[in-house]
Amino acid sequence: MKDPIVAEVRRHRLEHTKRFNSDLRSICEDLRRFEATLGDRVVKSRPNRLTEKGKSKSQPPHRDDG
């Protein structure tokens, strides 16, 4: 069973790729320019820290410097 949403995303991605002749640098630059127009609509999260065993933690430990 094909997912119509996945098919649509892939179609748009292929069109975007063709517009830049499959040049990854140009594609990324275009996406960064577009992202810059979104302002605060883009969620930016902090990277997860790794534990000693190599697993990521969801939140870094709280540090009280006060």
Taking only the tens place, the pLDDT of each residue in 1-17 is 789 999 999 999 999 99
CB contact set of 55 (below 8 Å; sequence gap of 6+): none
Longest dimension (CA), the chain: 57
Say if pTM beats, i.e. exceeds, 0.75. no
Q: Which among 65, 61, 43, 41 has a CA at the least distance from the CA of 52?
A: 61
Taking only the tens place, the pLDDT of each residue in 18-62 is 999 999 999 999 999 998 998 888 777 787 777 777 666 555 555
